[in-house]
């Protein structure tokens, strides 16, 4: 089958929270690795050593991005596996106990928690306020004697709202509760410093910041014990057995190195364009409502409810102009409102009218102006 060339696809790409294009430097680093680094990192000969060095270099690049040491980084197949490793690995070590999470987590956190509930663990799902933010004081009151784990996301994939992770971490640390943070949407897009956040475990996802898909990492603070969820040889400190996906790991490392170098300009550039986007849309469609926190938010994400139209209808009208997504799920032709927006108190109607527009480092002002025109036209004149 012939693959579709991206250049032949015209719509403005505004779905960077789903996935990002690869940085050209990432492609080059991976291409060199694919051509030359075929050795098994566990082999003792020079080919193995070269592959091992590539993996260890990437580990350092990822560690540098979140201000930690390479020994505290484990490579995985992505966010889903990192979240499973953190949550199941902690729970299975304790064998029993109480877990606290929030009601706006990604399915790769929610579903391991549901699985653990089936095994007899108790889980409390914290509510969020109208901006999608968890109140650390509410969390404090829900801690029990047998609370073993708290897992809260850094920023939400649908709204971009950023949680008060450092404050929650402080409470978790002082109560000796393991603290996991799913930072899939934040790492590479916003500064993430594990030392400041007081986290024990933190999920990193490569394809959310211009690295390849199918690879990620878990930060494991030194001294935090996890029970493996996969069994095999002793790769990745015995926590993630299996021959390393060397070239993808190299791609993730390169993406992390660039993200660290460019963090300031990335954040200010995306924030500037997101602001123009929102202001221009508001001028033309005054009834638009921003879902999520007005300031504690990712610089690239706009979740907007449009009056009197369902999000999927609007996107359908715009399919040749912009590529974005709604948070609603479609089951048997019926659209269900996003549980995240419902948890924030939105009516079904407001939740179903939401569209997520997520910008990236390649988004230009001209694209934003084109997107505004297209959205206004599709909204006002179907």
Residues catalogued as catalytic: 330
Check binding of 78 to ligand PLP (CB under 6 A).
yes
Closest approach of Cβ 49 to ligand PLP, in Å? Answer: 30
Q: Which among 51-59, 74-82, 279-287, 333-341 is the span making contact with ligand PLP, rule CB under 6 A? A: 74-82
Please list the alpha-helical segments (H only) found in 145-245: 165-174, 194-197
Is residue 108 close enough to count as binding ligand PLP by CB under 6 A? yes
- Helix H or strand E segment including 30: helix 24-36
Rounded-to-integer distance, Cα 67 and Cα 350, Å: 40
The residue whose two tokens read 């960077």 is 16
For residue 27, what are the β-bridge partners?
A: none
Q: Which is nearer to ligand PLP, 296 or 317 (CB)?
A: 296
Q: Are 54 and 37 in contact (CB under 8 A)?
A: yes
248 in contact with ligand PLP (CB under 6 A): no
Shorter beta-carbon distance to ligand PLP: residue 182 or 321:
182
Q: Which stretch binds ligand PLP (CB under 6 A): 78-86, 189-197, 291-299, 320-328?
A: 78-86
Other residues' Cβ atoms within 10 Å of the Cβ of residue 72: 21
Give whole-number Cα distances, 87 to 6, 12, 93, 133, 371, in Å: 37, 37, 10, 21, 40
157 lies in the site for ligand PLP, by CB under 6 A:
yes
Based on the shown chain and the rule CB under 6 A, indicate whether residue 160 belongs to the binding site for ligand PLP: no
By CB under 6 A, which span of 36-44, 76-84, 169-177, 248-256 interacts with ligand PLP?
76-84
The one segment of 77-85, 167-175, 224-232, 336-344 that binds ligand PLP by CB under 6 A: 77-85
Q: What is the dihedral of CA 185, 187, 190, 193, to 10 degrees?
A: 130
Give yes or no for residue 79 binding ligand PLP (CB under 6 A). Answer: yes
Q: Does residue 253 contact residue 57 with C-beta atoms inside 8 Å?
A: yes
Q: Tell me how far, at minimum, the Cβ of 376 lies from ligand PLP, in Å.
A: 29
Max Cα distance, the chain (Å): 67
Q: How far is the CB of 107 from ligand PLP (least distance, A)?
A: 8
Binding interface with ligand PLP (CB under 6 A): 78-80, 83, 106, 108, 153, 157, 182, 184-185, 205
């Amino acid at each position: 089958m012939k693959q579709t060339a991206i250049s032949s696809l015209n719509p403005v790409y505004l779905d960077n929270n789903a996935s990002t294009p690869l940085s050209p430097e990432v492609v080059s680093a991976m291409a060199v690795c694919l051509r030359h680094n075929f050795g098994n990192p566990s082999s003792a000969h020079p080919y193995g050593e070269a592959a091992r060095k590539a993996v260890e270099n990437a580990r350092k690049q990822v560690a540098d991005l979140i201000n930690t040491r390479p020994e505290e980084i484990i490579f995985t197949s992505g966010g889903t596996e990192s979240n499973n490793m953190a949550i199941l690995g902690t729970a299975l070590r304790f064998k029993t106990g109480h877990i606290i999470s929030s009601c706006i987590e990604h399915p790769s956190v929610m579903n391991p928690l549901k699985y653990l509930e089936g095994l007899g663990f108790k889980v409390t799902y914290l509510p969020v306020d109208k901006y999608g933010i968890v109140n650390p004081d509410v969390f404090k009151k829900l801690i029990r004697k047998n609370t073993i784990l708290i897992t809260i996301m850094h920023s939400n994939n649908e709204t971009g709202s950023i949680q008060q992770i450092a404050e929650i971490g402080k409470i978790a640390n002082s109560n000796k509760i393991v603290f996991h943070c799913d930072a899939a949407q934040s790492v590479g897009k916003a500064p993430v410093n594990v030392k400041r956040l007081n986290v024990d475990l933190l999920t990193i996802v490569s394809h959310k910041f211009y690295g390849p898909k199918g690879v990620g990492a878990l930060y494991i603070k030194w001294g935090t014990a996890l029970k493996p969820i996969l069994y095999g040889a002793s790769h990745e400190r015995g926590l993630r057995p299996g021959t390393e996906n060397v070239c993808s790991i190299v791609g993730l490392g390169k993406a992390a190195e660039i993200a660290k170098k460019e963090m300031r300009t990335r954040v200010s550039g995306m924030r500037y364009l997101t602001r123009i986007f929102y202001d221009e849309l508001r001028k033309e469609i005054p009834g638009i409502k921003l879902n999520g926190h007005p300031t504690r938010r990712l610089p690239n994400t706009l979740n907007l409810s449009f009056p009197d139209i369902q999000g999927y209808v609007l996107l359908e009208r715009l399919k040749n102009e912009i590529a974005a997504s709604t948070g609603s799920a479609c089951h048997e032709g019926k659209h269900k409102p996003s549980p995240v927006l419902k948890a924030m108190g939105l009516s079904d109607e407001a939740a179903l009218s939401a569209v997520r527009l997520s910008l990236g480092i390649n988004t230009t002002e001209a694209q934003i102006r084109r997107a505004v025109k297209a959205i206004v036209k599709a909204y006002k004149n179907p």
